[in-house]
Structure 1
Amino acid sequence: MAQNGKKYRSASERRELGKPYEASKAIDLVKQMSFAKFDETVEVAIRLGVDPRHADQVVRGTVVLPEGTGKTMRVLVIAAGAKVQEAQDAGADYVGTEYLAKIKEGWLDFDVLIATPDQMGQLGQLGRVLGPRGLMPNPKAGTVTFDVAKAVKESKGGKIEFRVDKGGNVHAPIGKVSFGPEQLATNLAALMDTIVRSKPSAAKGVYIRNVAISSSMGPGVTIDTTPYR
């Protein structure tokens, strides 16, 4: 741990704490300050001027990152009939209603769960297992749908879901350290555009309060919020 602490402190010296940087410069710094031996995820933390205790100020949604997430997503589709073949053709990893029993037994080797609306009655019984892990399908996230082909392709192609937490913050991945600066900048722009367009009408005052970017293990860099106002 001491060695990691030293690496973290050394990396931190590359940026000026609290100084807001232009997005492209912040991305460059994050890549420079990455010191882990694995390909770290690049994450964005956005503090919003909303009060999530009020239902009309909850910010949530999805965005397809144009450059992908850098992660191979394992997709499970709970469907029957012709939708099984449709999901398989679209590239789903696991398809079928038989997986309901496997989930009950504790199997959770997937990253995204898509279900057709007619299967939600049975899935509802698994809420205690799926809910806390963020795996329960949701119409707003596009994971409860009869258009399973589109849902599978989007999940495989870089679709992420975001939701404001109790503190008014949104955390989201925008790629890997191994991504080129332009790829990360493109994904960041897509995320921020979606967040800005998701502003609740009930939110008053400054909406985008603070934006910081970091790698999984590295120090954070503050991004200038001017372009998002």
Structure 2
Amino acid sequence: MARHGKKYNDAAKQVDPLKLYGLDEAIASVKELSSTKFDASIDAAINLNVNPRHADQMVRGSLLLPHGRGKQTTVVVFAKGEHAAAAEAAGADFVGADNIIQRITADNWTDFDVAVATPDMMGQVGRIGPILGPRGLMPNPKSGTVTFDVAKIVKELKAGRVEFRVDKAGIIHLSFARVSFDEQKIKENLEEVISTLARLKPASSKAPYFRKISISSTMGPGFKLDTNFAREML
């Protein structure tokens, strides 16, 4: 069982574990009870009524948060020639081909958030799949990270594009804001997350689609939300 520090335990005492919090109250409380010295992220755990073992109930995709994540996304691009130049111009942090692959292979280097590759590079990138795959860093056509339009995807990632995928338990975990954001921006970011998931609702999923939603700050206690606001977006 995880053991928490005094600050966490003191904050947790102020949370009613049986209560379903309204969105505004939960956001205000998450901000108030955050005790980290750094600008903590605000995370959501969204339990969907889906069975990811069935292909027609897999929920995955990406979205652009209206106010970004409040954190710089470090982007690696595997590309050559004009596509490499376009990635650099768009603001990619690391751009290359054999040199980056060699660095990842030799040093097990994965100090980045997202990897993008042009289709012609995937044969080489596939060789480092055993390193990137377990960390969720492998470029994937379904998420738009395998593309010749590297400038567009790099700009989106830098602007706060977030990728998500339901796990085996039917839960989506993602960071969608920072504690330093004002409450309205936090709310609008979360509403964008929920409305995106509502649009992706599989036809075969059963009601209620949104089973549970909770939000928390880094190292802070979680607040269970009343899901009525989410159901209204369906």
Give the aligned residue type for 1:211.
Answer: I
Match of 2:212 among 203, 207, 210: 210
| Percent identical residues | 50
Partner of 2:115: 113
Separation (CA, whole Å) in 1 of partners of 2:137 and 2:156: 16
Partner of 1:184: 186
Partner of 2:146: 144
Partner of 1:130: 132
Q: 1:139 offset after TM fit, Å?
A: 1.2
**1:81-100 maps to which residues of 2 (within 5 A)?**
81-97=81-97, 98-100=99-101
Separation (CA, whole Å) in 2 of partners of 1:124 and 1:107: 16
Partner of 2:18: 18
Task: Please state whether the residue corresponding to 1:160 is helix, strand or coil.
Answer: strand
Match of 1:196 among 189, 195, 198: 198
Separation (CA, whole Å) in 2 of partners of 1:145 and 1:24: 39
Give the aligned residue type for 2:179.
Answer: V
Separation (CA, whole Å) in 2 of partners of 1:195 and 1:19: 24
Match of 1:156 among 155, 158, 167: 158
Task: Identify the range of structure 1 (103-112 vs 8-17) with the bigger mean alpha-carbon deviation.
Answer: 8-17
Deviation track 1:153-200 (CA, whole Å, cap 9, x = no partner) reads 111110111111111111110111111111111110111111111111
Task: Please state whether the residue corresponding to 2:5 is helix, strand or coil.
Answer: helix
Partner of 1:44: 44
Task: Please state whether the residue corresponding to 1:21 is helix, strand or coil.
Answer: coil
Alignment length (residue pairs): 227
Separation (CA, whole Å) in 2 of partners of 1:5 and 1:107: 32
Separation (CA, whole Å) in 2 of partners of 1:17 and 1:153: 40
Give the aligned residue type for 2:100.
Answer: Y
**1:67-86 maps to which residues of 2 (within 5 A)?**
67-86=67-86
Deviation track 1:113-143 (CA, whole Å, cap 9, x = no partner) reads 1111111111111110000000001111111
Separation (CA, whole Å) in 1 of partners of 2:188 and 2:76: 28
What are structure 1's unaligned runs of at least 5 residues?
Answer: none
Q: 1:4 offset after TM fit, Å?
A: 5.4
With structure 2 as the length reference, what TM-score do the two structures score? 0.93
Partner of 1:101: 102
1:7 to 1:107, Cα distance in 2 relative to 1, 3 A: closer
Partner of 1:27: 27
Task: Identify the range of structure 1 (35-44 vs 124-133) with the bigger mean alpha-carbon deviation.
Answer: 35-44
What are structure 2's unaligned runs of at least 5 residues?
Answer: none
Separation (CA, whole Å) in 1 of partners of 2:94 and 2:6: 44
Task: Please state whether the residue corresponding to 1:190 is helix, strand or coil.
Answer: helix
Partner of 1:225: 227
1:76–1:95 Cα contact (<8 Å) kept:
yes
Aligned Cα RMSD in Å? Answer: 1.4
Give the aligned residue type for 2:102.
Answer: A
With structure 1 as the length reference, what TM-score do the two structures score? 0.95
Q: 1:95 offset after TM fit, Å?
A: 0.9
Separation (CA, whole Å) in 1 of partners of 2:9 and 2:75: 39
Partner of 1:7: 7
